[in-house]
């Protein structure tokens, strides 16, 4: 475990010393500032606009960070051969990959928590806004989404180039947010007699993650009661951990017998 944590911490340190990290943070702050400007323009809608723009910014920048930092992590180690001396130090390949994954999640998680904290402060400070438990839960659920996205990015990064990994991870994220639509579409196709396409969509639905379950934006904006889905706050973390675990297992299997060039 010590080796995994050492690699995770080093990955985190690499990310925070990478200028891209700061650019993303600055952009997030910029977007939060935009929400303030928009809020002053839309009279009486301050609360909704600040929360909507703020949560969207956290989600988008968290996603961008997970993708752009994640897809380069393993690839760079192999390309620059920094992995050689690590493996030669007696670190197992699964320890290396898992350390990279934890480091990425920690980097993205810290970023999301900082942005979330800033949003909460803004909501508290703004006269017509109120901080709700739903808002805090929405931010915490983003962490679970990032856990899954980090695992997807590491999986692709372990066997393909950064550009391809970024495209594939982004596609998984987009489709993952349309998961319920896929099922609906599959049902319609089935009713229309296109059984094969319906089956394909059903398979995609079950293979790709359902990221929309981690999205509480509407509930936050419209101050909906989340009591009815309250029990899912136990199942959602389990879903995220198991799904990420399976992805990491696949990544480790493909990584463990691979020749590093």
Binding site residues, other proteins, CB under 8 A: 2-3, 6-7, 10, 13-14, 17-18, 80-91, 257, 259-260
- Smallest separation, CB 24 to other proteins (Å): 17
Q: CB-wise, 231 or 261, nearer to other proteins?
A: 261
DSSP-derived secondary structure letter, 192:
T
- Smallest separation, CB 9 to other proteins (Å): 8
DSSP-derived secondary structure letter, 258:
P
Q: CB-wise, 99 or 162, nearer to other proteins?
A: 99
Q: CB-wise, 13 or 199, nearer to other proteins?
A: 13
- Smallest separation, CB 253 to other proteins (Å): 15
Counting beta carbons within 10 angstroms of the beta carbon of residue 223, is it exposed (0 to 12), middle (13 to 18) or buried (19 or more)? middle
Q: Where are the alpha helices (DSSP H) in the chain?
A: 2-16, 19-41, 46-79, 82-88, 93-125, 133-157, 162-177, 179-191, 195-207, 217-221, 232-256
- Smallest separation, CB 260 to other proteins (Å): 5
Distance between CA atoms of 140 and 117, rounded to whole angstroms? 11
- Smallest separation, CB 69 to other proteins (Å): 13
CB burial string 135-156: b at 16+ within 10 A, e below: bebbbbbbbbbbbbbbbbbbbb
Distance between CA atoms of 248 and 163, rounded to whole angstroms? 20
Residues 6+ apart with CB under 8 A from 196: none
Please state, as a whole number, how many other Cβ atoms lie within 10 Å of the Cβ of residue 87.
14
- Smallest separation, CB 18 to other proteins (Å): 7
Q: CB-wise, 45 or 79, nearer to other proteins?
A: 79
Q: CB-wise, 110 or 136, nearer to other proteins?
A: 110
Q: CB-wise, 43 or 88, nearer to other proteins?
A: 88
């Amino acid at each position: 475990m010590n080796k995994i944590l050492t690699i995770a911490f080093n990955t985190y340190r690499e990310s925070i010393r990478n200028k891209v990290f700061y650019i993303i943070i600055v952009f997030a702050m910029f977007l939060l500032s935009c929400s303030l400007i928009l809020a002053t323009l839309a009279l009486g809608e301050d609360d909704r606009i600040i929360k909507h723009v703020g949560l969207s910014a956290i989600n988008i920048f968290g996603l961008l960070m997970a993708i752009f930092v994640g897809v380069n992590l393993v690839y760079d180690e192999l390309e620059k051969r920094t992995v050689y001396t690590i493996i030669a130090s007696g670190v197992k390949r699964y320890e290396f990959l898992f350390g990279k994954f934890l480091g990425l999640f920690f980097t993205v998680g810290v970023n999301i928590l900082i942005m979330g904290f800033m949003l909460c402060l803004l909501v508290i400070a703004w006269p017509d806004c109120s901080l709700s438990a739903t808002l805090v839960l929405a931010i915490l659920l983003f962490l679970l989404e990032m856990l899954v996205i980090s695992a997807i990015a590491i999986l692709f990064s372990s066997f393909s180039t950064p550009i391809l990994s970024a495209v594939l991870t982004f596609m998984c994220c987009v489709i993952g947010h349309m998961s319920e639509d896929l099922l609906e579409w599959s049902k319609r196709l089935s009713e229309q007699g296109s059984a094969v396409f319906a089956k394909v969509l059903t398979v995609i639905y079950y293979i790709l993650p359902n990221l929309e379950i981690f999205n509480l934006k509407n509930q936050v904006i419209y101050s909906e009661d989340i009591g009815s889905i309250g029990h899912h706050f136990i199942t959602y973390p389990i879903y995220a951990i198991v799904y990420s675990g399976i992805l990491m297992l696949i990544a480790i299997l493909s990584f463990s017998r691979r020749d590093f060039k």
